[in-house]
Chain A
Amino acid sequence: QQQVKQSPQSLIVQKGGISIINCAYENTAFDYFPWYQQFPGKGPALLIAIRPDVSEKKEGRFTISFNKSAKQFSLHIMDSQPGDSATYFCAASNLDKIIFGKGTRLHILP
């Protein structure tokens, strides 16, 4: 019940394309859903986050879509750039801890 399932494991997108990463959770007690971006050898950095009372949140080229009834959420990266190449982790959390997905290695072709 504590799992967060993330797909795909890896993703290759052409420059300018849309990158889409999907996640699903089981525990309805989660009330905060962040996405993290991690470059090799660095700690994860918060990219964007959403709470379950909102169905979509957009910040620049990054959009989270949230489907509470399906317990699914996704990250869309518009106009993907080579600098977006990194590992992305979705997560779900409550007051106590953050549960991370297994990560998606995104590679944007120049």
Chain B
Amino acid sequence: GAVVSQHPSRVICKSGTSVKIECRSLDFQATTMFWYRQFPKKSLMLMATSNEGSKATYEQGVEKDKFLINHASLTLSTLTVTSAHPEDSSFYICSASETRANEQFFGPGTRLTVL
């Protein structure tokens, strides 16, 4: 099956710093990538959708200046949490789709802890 990787798997940072998370589709070209946030024992919340070479589309309530998304190539998307604060601590998961949005393959997730 299609494989999606994320790096890093865990990151701890100080409040006020920025953190970049990478999402890669390893064996297919992802025309669309998605970024989700998941709180403990909760469901996945879609943050934004990005298409290669285009600006990301953010869901209502998600600060675009806080969560910068770049989809520079068909195999790589990055999420940068700018000026991170403790409330940004969460599990961030990306997914990638080659064709339709409903056929998404998920990455293993990144645990972000902001001290």
Contact = CB atoms under 8 A, between A and B. Distances in A.
Interface of A: 31-32, 34, 36, 41-46, 89, 93-98, 100-103, 105
A96 B109 contact: no
Contacts, number: 53
Contacts of A45: 106
B43 A43 contact: no
B106 A94 contact: no
Residue in A43, A96, A98 with the greatest tally of chain B CB atoms within 10 Å = A43
Residue in B34, B102, B106, B107 with the greatest tally of chain A CB atoms within 10 Å = B102
Interface in B27-44: 34, 41-44
B113 interface: no
A44 B93 CA distance: 9
Nearest to B94: A43
